[in-house]
Structure 1
Amino acid sequence: MLEAIMHTENQSPQTVNVAGSASWQVELDHVSVTYPNGTRALSDVSLRIEPGEMVSIIGLSGSGKSTLIRTINGLVAATQGVVTVGPHQVNALSGRALRDVRGQIGMIFQGFNLAERTDVLHNVLVGRFAHLPLWRTLLDLPTKHDRNIALGALDSVGILETVWTRAGALSGGQKQRVAIARALSQEPSVMLADEPVASLDPPTSHAVMGDLRRINQQYGLTVLINLHLIDLAKQYTTRLIGLRDGRLVYDGPVQNATDKDFEEVYGRPIQARDLLGN
Protein backbone atom coordinates (compact mmCIF):
# COMPACT_ATOMS: atom_id res chain seq x y z
CA MET A 1 0.00 0.00 0.00
CA LEU A 2 2.81 2.40 0.88
CA GLU A 3 4.40 2.10 -2.55
CA ALA A 4 1.08 2.65 -4.31
CA ILE A 5 0.26 5.72 -2.26
CA MET A 6 3.63 7.35 -2.76
CA HIS A 7 3.72 6.49 -6.46
CA THR A 8 0.51 8.48 -6.77
CA GLU A 9 1.95 11.38 -4.78
CA ASN A 10 5.38 11.12 -6.50
CA GLN A 11 7.26 11.83 -3.28
CA SER A 12 8.72 9.67 -0.51
CA PRO A 13 7.21 10.43 2.91
CA GLN A 14 10.66 10.44 4.44
CA THR A 15 11.52 13.61 2.51
CA VAL A 16 8.52 15.61 3.72
CA ASN A 17 9.18 18.33 6.28
CA VAL A 18 6.35 18.13 8.82
CA ALA A 19 7.57 20.74 11.30
CA GLY A 20 7.70 24.50 11.01
CA SER A 21 10.90 26.26 10.01
CA ALA A 22 11.45 27.63 13.52
CA SER A 23 10.25 26.67 16.98
CA TRP A 24 8.75 29.38 19.12
CA GLN A 25 9.28 30.57 22.65
CA VAL A 26 6.26 30.64 24.98
CA GLU A 27 6.00 33.21 27.77
CA LEU A 28 3.32 33.94 30.35
CA ASP A 29 3.75 37.17 32.31
CA HIS A 30 1.59 37.39 35.47
CA VAL A 31 -1.27 35.58 33.76
CA SER A 32 -4.56 34.98 35.56
CA VAL A 33 -7.76 33.43 34.23
CA THR A 34 -11.15 33.83 35.88
CA TYR A 35 -14.12 32.13 34.22
CA PRO A 36 -17.51 33.87 33.92
CA ASN A 37 -18.87 31.78 36.82
CA GLY A 38 -16.20 33.28 39.09
CA THR A 39 -13.85 30.28 39.13
CA ARG A 40 -10.21 31.41 39.20
CA ALA A 41 -8.40 28.81 37.11
CA LEU A 42 -4.97 30.48 36.94
CA SER A 43 -3.53 32.94 39.43
CA ASP A 44 -0.53 35.16 38.59
CA VAL A 45 1.39 32.55 36.58
CA SER A 46 4.72 33.65 35.08
CA LEU A 47 6.99 31.32 33.12
CA ARG A 48 9.09 31.17 29.96
CA ILE A 49 9.59 28.11 27.80
CA GLU A 50 12.50 28.27 25.39
CA PRO A 51 12.27 27.11 21.76
CA GLY A 52 12.73 23.35 21.49
CA GLU A 53 12.02 22.50 25.13
CA MET A 54 10.05 19.37 26.08
CA VAL A 55 7.93 20.33 29.08
CA SER A 56 5.39 18.47 31.20
CA ILE A 57 2.69 20.28 33.19
CA ILE A 58 1.42 18.24 36.13
CA GLY A 59 -1.23 18.69 38.78
CA LEU A 60 -4.49 17.27 40.02
CA SER A 61 -7.75 17.67 38.14
CA GLY A 62 -8.80 21.29 38.52
CA SER A 63 -5.26 22.54 39.09
CA GLY A 64 -5.32 24.70 35.94
CA LYS A 65 -3.35 22.48 33.56
CA SER A 66 -5.86 22.53 30.72
CA THR A 67 -6.55 26.22 31.20
CA LEU A 68 -2.83 26.98 30.91
CA ILE A 69 -2.49 25.00 27.68
CA ARG A 70 -5.61 26.58 26.19
CA THR A 71 -4.50 30.07 27.17
CA ILE A 72 -1.36 29.58 25.10
CA ASN A 73 -3.34 29.07 21.87
CA GLY A 74 -6.08 31.53 22.74
CA LEU A 75 -8.87 28.98 23.29
CA VAL A 76 -9.16 30.49 26.77
CA ALA A 77 -8.61 34.23 27.16
CA ALA A 78 -6.32 35.53 29.89
CA THR A 79 -8.20 37.96 32.12
CA GLN A 80 -4.93 39.48 33.37
CA GLY A 81 -1.34 39.43 32.19
CA VAL A 82 0.32 38.80 28.84
CA VAL A 83 0.61 35.58 26.82
CA THR A 84 3.32 35.66 24.15
CA VAL A 85 3.93 32.82 21.68
CA GLY A 86 6.78 33.41 19.27
CA PRO A 87 6.41 36.99 18.00
CA HIS A 88 2.70 37.16 18.86
CA GLN A 89 0.90 38.48 21.92
CA VAL A 90 -1.89 35.93 21.81
CA ASN A 91 -4.25 37.60 24.27
CA ALA A 92 -4.25 40.77 22.13
CA LEU A 93 -5.40 38.94 18.99
CA SER A 94 -8.85 38.14 17.64
CA GLY A 95 -10.51 37.07 14.44
CA ARG A 96 -8.29 36.20 11.48
CA ALA A 97 -5.07 37.14 13.29
CA LEU A 98 -5.82 34.69 16.11
CA ARG A 99 -6.79 31.95 13.64
CA ASP A 100 -3.52 32.47 11.78
CA VAL A 101 -1.50 32.03 14.98
CA ARG A 102 -3.48 28.93 15.95
CA GLY A 103 -2.55 27.54 12.54
CA GLN A 104 1.06 27.49 13.77
CA ILE A 105 0.27 25.92 17.15
CA GLY A 106 -0.45 22.20 16.98
CA MET A 107 -3.04 20.94 19.51
CA ILE A 108 -3.60 17.34 20.61
CA PHE A 109 -6.68 16.61 22.71
CA GLN A 110 -7.43 13.83 25.18
CA GLY A 111 -10.56 12.89 23.24
CA PHE A 112 -8.79 12.76 19.84
CA ASN A 113 -11.39 15.08 18.15
CA LEU A 114 -11.43 13.07 14.92
CA ALA A 115 -14.18 12.83 12.32
CA GLU A 116 -14.80 9.13 12.91
CA ARG A 117 -16.77 8.46 9.71
CA THR A 118 -13.98 9.96 7.59
CA ASP A 119 -10.78 8.23 6.52
CA VAL A 120 -7.48 8.91 8.22
CA LEU A 121 -6.01 10.95 5.36
CA HIS A 122 -8.86 13.47 5.42
CA ASN A 123 -8.60 13.75 9.20
CA VAL A 124 -4.91 14.61 8.93
CA LEU A 125 -5.55 17.05 6.07
CA VAL A 126 -7.62 19.13 8.52
CA GLY A 127 -4.26 20.30 9.83
CA ARG A 128 -3.57 21.88 6.43
CA PHE A 129 -6.67 24.10 6.46
CA ALA A 130 -4.74 27.10 7.77
CA HIS A 131 -2.46 26.84 4.73
CA LEU A 132 -5.21 26.49 2.11
CA PRO A 133 -7.51 29.06 0.48
CA LEU A 134 -11.12 28.63 1.55
CA TRP A 135 -12.27 27.39 -1.85
CA ARG A 136 -9.89 24.42 -1.73
CA THR A 137 -11.13 23.51 1.75
CA LEU A 138 -14.80 23.74 0.74
CA LEU A 139 -14.29 21.72 -2.45
CA ASP A 140 -12.02 19.15 -0.77
CA LEU A 141 -9.18 19.92 -3.20
CA PRO A 142 -5.89 19.80 -1.29
CA THR A 143 -2.76 20.28 -3.34
CA LYS A 144 -0.27 17.48 -3.97
CA HIS A 145 2.07 19.27 -1.54
CA ASP A 146 -0.57 19.22 1.20
CA ARG A 147 -1.26 15.53 0.64
CA ASN A 148 2.45 14.80 0.86
CA ILE A 149 2.70 16.73 4.12
CA ALA A 150 -0.20 14.69 5.53
CA LEU A 151 1.31 11.39 4.37
CA GLY A 152 4.69 12.36 5.79
CA ALA A 153 3.08 13.16 9.13
CA LEU A 154 1.36 9.77 9.21
CA ASP A 155 4.61 8.06 8.32
CA SER A 156 6.43 9.92 11.08
CA VAL A 157 4.16 8.34 13.72
CA GLY A 158 4.25 4.91 12.09
CA ILE A 159 0.67 4.52 10.86
CA LEU A 160 0.85 5.29 7.16
CA GLU A 161 -0.82 1.95 6.45
CA THR A 162 -4.07 3.25 8.00
CA VAL A 163 -4.35 6.10 5.48
CA TRP A 164 -7.64 4.91 3.92
CA THR A 165 -9.09 3.43 7.14
CA ARG A 166 -12.16 5.05 8.66
CA ALA A 167 -11.04 6.83 11.83
CA GLY A 168 -13.80 5.24 13.90
CA ALA A 169 -12.38 1.78 13.18
CA LEU A 170 -9.01 2.54 14.80
CA SER A 171 -7.82 1.65 18.28
CA GLY A 172 -7.40 4.40 20.87
CA GLY A 173 -3.65 4.50 20.38
CA GLN A 174 -4.01 4.72 16.60
CA LYS A 175 -6.55 7.53 16.97
CA GLN A 176 -4.15 9.51 19.14
CA ARG A 177 -1.39 9.01 16.60
CA VAL A 178 -3.71 10.30 13.87
CA ALA A 179 -4.33 13.34 16.09
CA ILE A 180 -0.57 13.83 16.45
CA ALA A 181 -0.15 13.53 12.67
CA ARG A 182 -2.93 16.08 12.15
CA ALA A 183 -1.13 18.53 14.45
CA LEU A 184 2.19 17.84 12.72
CA SER A 185 0.66 18.50 9.31
CA GLN A 186 0.15 22.11 10.40
CA GLU A 187 3.97 22.46 10.26
CA PRO A 188 3.71 23.94 13.76
CA SER A 189 6.17 26.04 15.71
CA VAL A 190 4.71 24.86 19.04
CA MET A 191 2.98 21.58 19.93
CA LEU A 192 0.47 21.41 22.81
CA ALA A 193 -0.94 18.15 24.17
CA ASP A 194 -3.78 18.13 26.70
CA GLU A 195 -3.73 14.80 28.63
CA PRO A 196 -2.88 12.84 25.45
CA VAL A 197 -2.59 9.46 27.23
CA ALA A 198 -5.40 9.74 29.79
CA SER A 199 -7.60 7.17 28.04
CA LEU A 200 -4.82 4.80 26.89
CA ASP A 201 -3.39 1.60 28.38
CA PRO A 202 0.23 1.62 29.69
CA PRO A 203 1.98 0.20 26.59
CA THR A 204 0.11 2.57 24.28
CA SER A 205 0.76 5.50 26.62
CA HIS A 206 4.49 4.83 26.43
CA ALA A 207 4.30 4.56 22.64
CA VAL A 208 2.48 7.90 22.28
CA MET A 209 4.85 9.64 24.71
CA GLY A 210 7.76 8.17 22.78
CA ASP A 211 6.34 9.62 19.56
CA LEU A 212 6.07 13.07 21.14
CA ARG A 213 9.62 12.91 22.50
CA ARG A 214 10.98 11.80 19.13
CA ILE A 215 9.15 14.65 17.38
CA ASN A 216 10.66 17.09 19.88
CA GLN A 217 14.14 15.74 19.32
CA GLN A 218 13.94 15.22 15.56
CA TYR A 219 12.47 18.60 14.70
CA GLY A 220 13.58 20.67 17.70
CA LEU A 221 9.91 21.47 18.22
CA THR A 222 8.67 23.17 21.39
CA VAL A 223 6.37 20.63 23.09
CA LEU A 224 4.15 21.14 26.16
CA ILE A 225 2.24 18.17 27.57
CA ASN A 226 -0.37 18.10 30.32
CA LEU A 227 0.04 14.95 32.41
CA HIS A 228 -1.27 13.59 35.67
CA LEU A 229 1.21 10.69 35.79
CA ILE A 230 4.51 11.42 37.51
CA ASP A 231 6.55 8.58 36.02
CA LEU A 232 5.70 9.57 32.44
CA ALA A 233 6.75 13.14 33.15
CA LYS A 234 10.06 11.91 34.57
CA GLN A 235 10.76 9.52 31.71
CA TYR A 236 9.82 11.57 28.67
CA THR A 237 10.22 15.27 29.43
CA THR A 238 13.12 17.43 30.54
CA ARG A 239 11.34 20.19 32.45
CA LEU A 240 8.50 20.02 34.93
CA ILE A 241 5.89 22.68 35.67
CA GLY A 242 3.65 21.95 38.65
CA LEU A 243 0.30 23.66 39.23
CA ARG A 244 -1.84 23.55 42.34
CA ASP A 245 -5.13 25.44 42.63
CA GLY A 246 -4.14 27.57 39.63
CA ARG A 247 -0.80 28.62 41.07
CA LEU A 248 2.69 27.74 39.92
CA VAL A 249 4.31 25.70 42.71
CA TYR A 250 7.20 24.01 40.85
CA ASP A 251 9.25 24.89 37.77
CA GLY A 252 12.55 23.19 37.09
CA PRO A 253 14.42 20.28 35.50
CA VAL A 254 12.63 16.95 35.88
CA GLN A 255 15.73 15.27 37.31
CA ASN A 256 15.79 17.76 40.20
CA ALA A 257 12.20 17.11 41.27
CA THR A 258 11.94 15.17 44.54
CA ASP A 259 9.05 13.28 46.09
CA LYS A 260 8.59 16.27 48.37
CA ASP A 261 8.20 18.54 45.32
CA PHE A 262 5.56 16.21 43.85
CA GLU A 263 3.73 16.11 47.17
CA GLU A 264 3.71 19.92 47.18
CA VAL A 265 2.19 19.92 43.69
CA TYR A 266 -0.46 17.33 44.57
CA GLY A 267 -1.10 18.61 48.08
CA ARG A 268 -0.81 15.09 49.52
CA PRO A 269 1.48 12.05 49.53
CA ILE A 270 2.03 10.38 46.15
CA GLN A 271 -0.48 7.58 45.48
CA ALA A 272 -0.54 4.63 43.10
CA ARG A 273 -2.99 6.46 40.81
CA ASP A 274 -0.34 9.15 40.25
CA LEU A 275 1.85 6.58 38.49
CA LEU A 276 1.26 4.70 35.25
CA GLY A 277 3.51 1.78 36.15
CA ASN A 278 4.37 -0.83 33.58
Structure 2
Amino acid sequence: MSAPANAAHEADARQQSGAASWRIALDNVSVTYGNGTKALRDVSLGIAPGEMVSIVGLSGSGKSTLIRTINGLVQATSGTVNVGPYEVSSLRGRKLREARGHIGMIFQAFNLAERADVFHNTLVGRFAHTSSVRTLLGIPTAADREIALRALDSVGILDKVWTRAGSLSGGQKQRVAIARALSQQPSVMLADEPVASLDPPTAHSVMADLRRINAEQGLTVLINIHLMDLARQYTTRMIGLRAGEVVYDGPAAGATDADFEEIYGRPIQAKDQLGSGE
Protein backbone atom coordinates (compact mmCIF):
# COMPACT_ATOMS: atom_id res chain seq x y z
CA MET A 1 0.00 0.00 0.00
CA SER A 2 1.40 3.43 -0.90
CA ALA A 3 2.04 6.04 1.80
CA PRO A 4 -0.96 8.24 0.84
CA ALA A 5 -3.26 5.21 0.63
CA ASN A 6 -2.03 3.93 3.99
CA ALA A 7 -2.59 7.34 5.60
CA ALA A 8 -6.11 7.45 4.19
CA HIS A 9 -6.77 3.93 5.53
CA GLU A 10 -5.61 4.90 9.02
CA ALA A 11 -7.67 8.12 8.97
CA ASP A 12 -10.74 6.12 7.96
CA ALA A 13 -10.12 3.63 10.78
CA ARG A 14 -9.89 6.46 13.30
CA GLN A 15 -13.12 7.97 11.99
CA GLN A 16 -14.92 4.60 12.22
CA SER A 17 -13.76 4.11 15.81
CA GLY A 18 -16.06 6.98 16.76
CA ALA A 19 -13.82 8.30 19.54
CA ALA A 20 -10.78 10.46 20.08
CA SER A 21 -7.91 9.06 22.11
CA TRP A 22 -7.51 10.38 25.63
CA ARG A 23 -4.61 11.36 27.84
CA ILE A 24 -4.03 9.50 31.12
CA ALA A 25 -2.47 11.24 34.11
CA LEU A 26 -1.67 9.83 37.56
CA ASP A 27 -0.52 12.30 40.20
CA ASN A 28 1.07 10.86 43.36
CA VAL A 29 -1.21 7.83 43.32
CA SER A 30 -0.93 5.34 46.16
CA VAL A 31 -3.05 2.26 46.81
CA THR A 32 -3.09 0.45 50.14
CA TYR A 33 -5.35 -2.57 50.45
CA GLY A 34 -7.36 -3.43 53.54
CA ASN A 35 -4.80 -5.97 54.69
CA GLY A 36 -2.10 -3.27 54.75
CA THR A 37 -0.43 -4.21 51.45
CA LYS A 38 0.94 -1.12 49.69
CA ALA A 39 0.35 -1.92 46.02
CA LEU A 40 1.30 1.51 44.62
CA ARG A 41 3.53 4.15 46.17
CA ASP A 42 3.25 7.77 44.99
CA VAL A 43 3.10 6.94 41.29
CA SER A 44 3.04 9.91 38.91
CA LEU A 45 2.72 9.31 35.17
CA GLY A 46 1.53 11.10 32.07
CA ILE A 47 0.52 9.06 29.03
CA ALA A 48 -0.17 10.98 25.84
CA PRO A 49 -3.11 10.25 23.53
CA GLY A 50 -2.19 7.49 21.08
CA GLU A 51 0.78 6.07 23.01
CA MET A 52 1.44 2.32 23.00
CA VAL A 53 2.74 1.56 26.49
CA SER A 54 3.74 -1.63 28.30
CA ILE A 55 3.66 -1.83 32.08
CA VAL A 56 6.28 -4.39 33.08
CA GLY A 57 6.84 -6.07 36.41
CA LEU A 58 6.72 -9.36 38.23
CA SER A 59 3.65 -10.65 40.06
CA GLY A 60 3.04 -8.41 43.04
CA SER A 61 4.82 -5.42 41.52
CA GLY A 62 1.62 -3.39 41.34
CA LYS A 63 1.06 -3.42 37.59
CA SER A 64 -2.46 -4.90 37.74
CA THR A 65 -3.38 -2.46 40.49
CA LEU A 66 -2.05 0.40 38.39
CA ILE A 67 -4.07 -0.47 35.33
CA ARG A 68 -7.21 -1.04 37.41
CA THR A 69 -6.97 2.37 39.03
CA ILE A 70 -7.29 3.84 35.54
CA ASN A 71 -10.81 2.46 35.06
CA GLY A 72 -11.80 2.67 38.72
CA LEU A 73 -11.86 -1.06 39.42
CA VAL A 74 -9.42 -0.20 42.20
CA GLN A 75 -9.79 3.08 44.07
CA ALA A 76 -6.72 5.17 44.77
CA THR A 77 -6.04 5.58 48.47
CA SER A 78 -4.44 8.94 47.75
CA GLY A 79 -3.58 11.02 44.69
CA THR A 80 -5.60 11.60 41.54
CA VAL A 81 -6.24 9.59 38.36
CA ASN A 82 -7.42 11.51 35.30
CA VAL A 83 -8.53 9.85 32.07
CA GLY A 84 -9.59 12.27 29.36
CA PRO A 85 -12.18 14.66 30.89
CA TYR A 86 -12.79 12.44 33.94
CA GLU A 87 -11.11 12.46 37.33
CA VAL A 88 -11.68 8.75 37.75
CA SER A 89 -10.33 8.63 41.30
CA SER A 90 -13.22 10.80 42.51
CA LEU A 91 -16.06 9.13 40.59
CA ARG A 92 -18.73 6.83 41.96
CA GLY A 93 -21.93 5.26 40.68
CA ARG A 94 -23.38 6.51 37.41
CA LYS A 95 -20.50 8.86 36.59
CA LEU A 96 -17.97 6.07 37.06
CA ARG A 97 -20.00 3.77 34.79
CA GLU A 98 -20.13 6.58 32.24
CA ALA A 99 -16.34 6.97 32.30
CA ARG A 100 -15.82 3.21 32.00
CA GLY A 101 -17.94 3.24 28.87
CA HIS A 102 -15.01 4.99 27.17
CA ILE A 103 -12.29 2.72 28.59
CA GLY A 104 -11.94 -0.68 26.92
CA MET A 105 -10.63 -3.49 29.14
CA ILE A 106 -9.13 -6.84 28.12
CA PHE A 107 -8.53 -9.49 30.79
CA GLN A 108 -6.18 -12.46 30.98
CA ALA A 109 -9.14 -14.80 31.65
CA PHE A 110 -11.15 -13.38 28.70
CA ASN A 111 -14.33 -12.90 30.83
CA LEU A 112 -16.67 -14.13 28.09
CA ALA A 113 -20.13 -15.64 28.50
CA GLU A 114 -19.14 -19.17 27.47
CA ARG A 115 -22.66 -20.29 26.48
CA ALA A 116 -23.39 -17.21 24.38
CA ASP A 117 -22.26 -16.84 20.79
CA VAL A 118 -19.43 -14.58 19.68
CA PHE A 119 -21.79 -11.91 18.36
CA HIS A 120 -23.64 -11.44 21.64
CA ASN A 121 -20.38 -11.45 23.62
CA THR A 122 -19.12 -8.64 21.41
CA LEU A 123 -22.37 -6.68 21.79
CA VAL A 124 -21.68 -6.42 25.53
CA GLY A 125 -19.28 -3.63 24.64
CA ARG A 126 -22.23 -1.55 23.46
CA PHE A 127 -24.16 -1.74 26.75
CA ALA A 128 -22.70 1.50 28.11
CA HIS A 129 -23.96 3.32 25.01
CA THR A 130 -27.35 1.59 24.71
CA SER A 131 -30.66 2.35 26.41
CA SER A 132 -31.46 0.16 29.40
CA VAL A 133 -34.66 -1.06 27.71
CA ARG A 134 -32.81 -2.33 24.62
CA THR A 135 -30.13 -3.90 26.81
CA LEU A 136 -32.73 -5.65 28.97
CA LEU A 137 -34.65 -6.96 25.96
CA GLY A 138 -31.49 -7.87 24.05
CA ILE A 139 -32.50 -5.82 21.01
CA PRO A 140 -29.45 -4.08 19.50
CA THR A 141 -29.79 -1.18 17.11
CA ALA A 142 -28.66 -1.55 13.51
CA ALA A 143 -25.74 0.74 14.33
CA ASP A 144 -24.72 -1.44 17.30
CA ARG A 145 -24.85 -4.57 15.14
CA GLU A 146 -22.64 -2.90 12.53
CA ILE A 147 -20.13 -1.73 15.16
CA ALA A 148 -19.91 -5.23 16.67
CA LEU A 149 -19.47 -6.94 13.30
CA ARG A 150 -16.83 -4.41 12.25
CA ALA A 151 -14.95 -5.03 15.51
CA LEU A 152 -14.96 -8.79 14.92
CA ASP A 153 -13.77 -8.29 11.36
CA SER A 154 -10.92 -6.05 12.54
CA VAL A 155 -9.44 -8.90 14.60
CA GLY A 156 -10.05 -11.56 11.96
CA ILE A 157 -12.73 -13.59 13.70
CA LEU A 158 -15.88 -12.57 11.86
CA ASP A 159 -16.24 -16.13 10.53
CA LYS A 160 -16.92 -17.30 14.12
CA VAL A 161 -19.72 -14.78 14.71
CA TRP A 162 -22.40 -17.40 15.55
CA THR A 163 -20.04 -19.85 17.29
CA ARG A 164 -20.52 -20.46 21.00
CA ALA A 165 -17.70 -18.72 22.87
CA GLY A 166 -16.99 -21.76 25.03
CA SER A 167 -15.95 -23.80 22.00
CA LEU A 168 -13.23 -21.37 20.89
CA SER A 169 -9.49 -21.71 21.42
CA GLY A 170 -7.74 -19.42 23.87
CA GLY A 171 -6.45 -17.16 21.12
CA GLN A 172 -9.88 -16.91 19.53
CA LYS A 173 -11.44 -16.04 22.89
CA GLN A 174 -8.93 -13.26 23.39
CA ARG A 175 -9.72 -11.87 19.95
CA VAL A 176 -13.41 -11.83 20.87
CA ALA A 177 -12.47 -10.01 24.08
CA ILE A 178 -10.54 -7.43 22.03
CA ALA A 179 -13.51 -7.06 19.67
CA ARG A 180 -15.82 -6.56 22.66
CA ALA A 181 -13.58 -3.77 23.94
CA LEU A 182 -13.35 -2.22 20.47
CA SER A 183 -17.14 -2.23 20.15
CA GLN A 184 -17.21 0.31 22.99
CA GLN A 185 -15.48 2.69 20.56
CA PRO A 186 -13.13 3.47 23.44
CA SER A 187 -10.79 6.38 23.92
CA VAL A 188 -8.37 4.22 25.97
CA MET A 189 -7.65 0.49 25.74
CA LEU A 190 -6.33 -1.38 28.77
CA ALA A 191 -5.05 -4.95 28.64
CA ASP A 192 -4.22 -6.85 31.83
CA GLU A 193 -1.79 -9.69 30.98
CA PRO A 194 -3.67 -10.44 27.72
CA VAL A 195 -1.25 -13.16 26.53
CA ALA A 196 -0.32 -14.87 29.81
CA SER A 197 -2.43 -17.97 29.09
CA LEU A 198 -1.62 -18.23 25.37
CA ASP A 199 0.97 -20.25 23.45
CA PRO A 200 3.84 -18.26 21.87
CA PRO A 201 2.52 -18.00 18.27
CA THR A 202 -0.93 -16.92 19.48
CA ALA A 203 0.57 -14.48 21.97
CA HIS A 204 2.57 -12.80 19.20
CA SER A 205 -0.57 -12.63 17.05
CA VAL A 206 -2.62 -10.98 19.80
CA MET A 207 0.14 -8.47 20.53
CA ALA A 208 0.37 -7.68 16.82
CA ASP A 209 -3.41 -7.07 16.78
CA LEU A 210 -3.10 -4.59 19.65
CA ARG A 211 -0.18 -2.82 17.98
CA ARG A 212 -2.14 -2.58 14.71
CA ILE A 213 -5.18 -1.17 16.51
CA ASN A 214 -2.96 1.43 18.13
CA ALA A 215 -1.41 2.38 14.79
CA GLU A 216 -4.60 2.42 12.71
CA GLN A 217 -6.91 4.11 15.20
CA GLY A 218 -4.38 6.21 17.09
CA LEU A 219 -5.84 4.63 20.23
CA THR A 220 -4.12 4.96 23.60
CA VAL A 221 -3.15 1.41 24.58
CA LEU A 222 -1.70 0.21 27.91
CA ILE A 223 -0.65 -3.43 28.28
CA ASN A 224 0.37 -5.14 31.51
CA ILE A 225 2.99 -7.74 30.69
CA HIS A 226 5.93 -9.48 32.34
CA LEU A 227 7.68 -10.74 29.18
CA MET A 228 10.60 -8.54 28.22
CA ASP A 229 10.83 -9.49 24.56
CA LEU A 230 7.15 -8.73 23.90
CA ALA A 231 7.44 -5.38 25.63
CA ARG A 232 10.45 -4.49 23.49
CA GLN A 233 8.94 -5.71 20.22
CA TYR A 234 5.37 -4.44 20.37
CA THR A 235 5.31 -1.28 22.48
CA THR A 236 7.04 2.07 22.11
CA ARG A 237 7.25 3.08 25.76
CA MET A 238 7.81 0.93 28.81
CA ILE A 239 7.00 1.64 32.45
CA GLY A 240 8.70 -0.70 34.90
CA LEU A 241 7.19 -1.30 38.34
CA ARG A 242 8.84 -2.87 41.36
CA ALA A 243 7.20 -3.03 44.79
CA GLY A 244 4.65 -0.45 43.70
CA GLU A 245 7.18 2.13 42.51
CA VAL A 246 8.21 3.24 39.02
CA VAL A 247 11.82 2.15 38.47
CA TYR A 248 11.94 2.59 34.69
CA ASP A 249 10.11 4.88 32.26
CA GLY A 250 11.51 5.14 28.77
CA PRO A 251 11.62 3.69 25.25
CA ALA A 252 10.73 0.00 25.24
CA ALA A 253 13.09 -0.95 22.43
CA GLY A 254 16.00 0.71 24.23
CA ALA A 255 15.50 -1.08 27.53
CA THR A 256 18.63 -3.07 28.38
CA ASP A 257 18.89 -6.36 30.19
CA ALA A 258 20.20 -4.37 33.16
CA ASP A 259 17.01 -2.28 33.11
CA PHE A 260 14.90 -5.43 33.25
CA GLU A 261 17.00 -6.81 36.09
CA GLU A 262 16.35 -3.59 38.01
CA ILE A 263 12.60 -3.94 37.33
CA TYR A 264 12.53 -7.63 38.31
CA GLY A 265 14.87 -7.21 41.27
CA ARG A 266 16.84 -10.29 40.19
CA PRO A 267 18.83 -11.68 37.24
CA ILE A 268 16.90 -12.40 34.04
CA GLN A 269 15.51 -15.92 33.76
CA ALA A 270 14.31 -17.98 30.80
CA LYS A 271 10.68 -17.48 31.83
CA ASP A 272 11.06 -13.70 31.41
CA GLN A 273 10.99 -14.10 27.62
CA LEU A 274 8.43 -15.77 25.42
CA GLY A 275 10.54 -16.41 22.35
CA SER A 276 9.82 -16.04 18.65
CA GLY A 277 6.76 -18.25 18.62
CA GLU A 278 7.92 -19.96 15.45
TM-score relative to the length of structure 2: 0.94
1:87 Cα deviation after fit = 1.1
**Equivalent residue, structure 2, for 1:85:** 83
Deviations 1:243-267 (A, max 9, x none): 0011110001112211111100000
Give, in whole Å, the separation in 1 of the partners of 2:111 and 2:17: 21
Give, in whole Å, the separation in 1 of the partners of 2:111 and 2:244: 26
Give, in whole Å, the separation in 2 of the partners of 1:189 and 1:221: 6
1:15 Cα deviation after fit = 8.1
**Equivalent residue, structure 2, for 1:152:** 150
Deviations 1:51-103 (A, max 9, x none): 00000000000000100000000000000101000111001111100000000
**Equivalent residue, structure 1, for 2:221:** 223
Give, in whole Å, the separation in 2 of the partners of 1:179 and 1:48: 27
Q: 1:251 to 1:15 in 2, by over 3 A?
A: closer
Counterpart AA for 2:176: V
SS in 2 for 1:99: helix
**Equivalent residue, structure 2, for 1:72:** 70
**Equivalent residue, structure 1, for 2:182:** 184
**Equivalent residue, structure 2, for 1:166:** 164
Q: 1:16 to 1:68 in 2, by over 3 A?
A: closer
SS in 2 for 1:82: strand
Give, in whole Å, the separation in 2 of the partners of 1:178 and 1:16: 20
Contact 1:17–1:149 at 8 Å: present in 2 too? no
- Structure 2 runs not aligned, ≥5 long: 1-11
SS in 1 for 2:138: coil
Contact 1:18–1:186 at 8 Å: present in 2 too? no
**Equivalent residue, structure 1, for 2:108:** 110
2:37 is aligned with 1:39:
yes
**Equivalent residue, structure 2, for 1:211:** 209
Deviations 1:18-40 (A, max 9, x none): 52421000010000000111111
Q: 1:268 to 1:20 in 2, by over 3 A?
A: farther
Deviations 1:119-153 (A, max 9, x none): 00000000000010100000000001000000000
Give, in whole Å, the separation in 2 of the partners of 1:88 and 1:242: 25
Contact 1:103–1:130 at 8 Å: present in 2 too? yes
1:17 Cα deviation after fit = 5.7
2:66 is aligned with 1:61:
no
Counterpart AA for 2:171: G
Give, in whole Å, the separation in 2 of the partners of 1:250 and 1:225: 15
Give, in whole Å, the separation in 1 of the partners of 2:44 and 2:206: 29
SS in 2 for 1:256: coil
Give, in whole Å, the separation in 2 of the partners of 1:220 and 1:128: 20
Over aligned residues, Cα RMSD in angstroms?
1.2
Q: 1:17 to 1:172 in 2, by over 3 A?
A: farther
Contact 1:57–1:242 at 8 Å: present in 2 too? yes
**Equivalent residue, structure 2, for 1:24:** 22
Q: 1:88 to 1:230 in 2, by over 3 A?
A: same
Contact 1:227–1:233 at 8 Å: present in 2 too? yes
- Structure 1 runs not aligned, ≥5 long: 1-13
Paired-residue identity, %: 74
Give, in whole Å, the separation in 1 of the partners of 2:77 and 2:14: 40
1:186 Cα deviation after fit = 0.1
Number of positions where the alignment pairs a residue of Structure 1 with one of Structure 2: 265
Give, in whole Å, the separation in 1 of the partners of 2:176 and 2:220: 19
Give, in whole Å, the separation in 2 of the partners of 1:122 and 1:259: 44
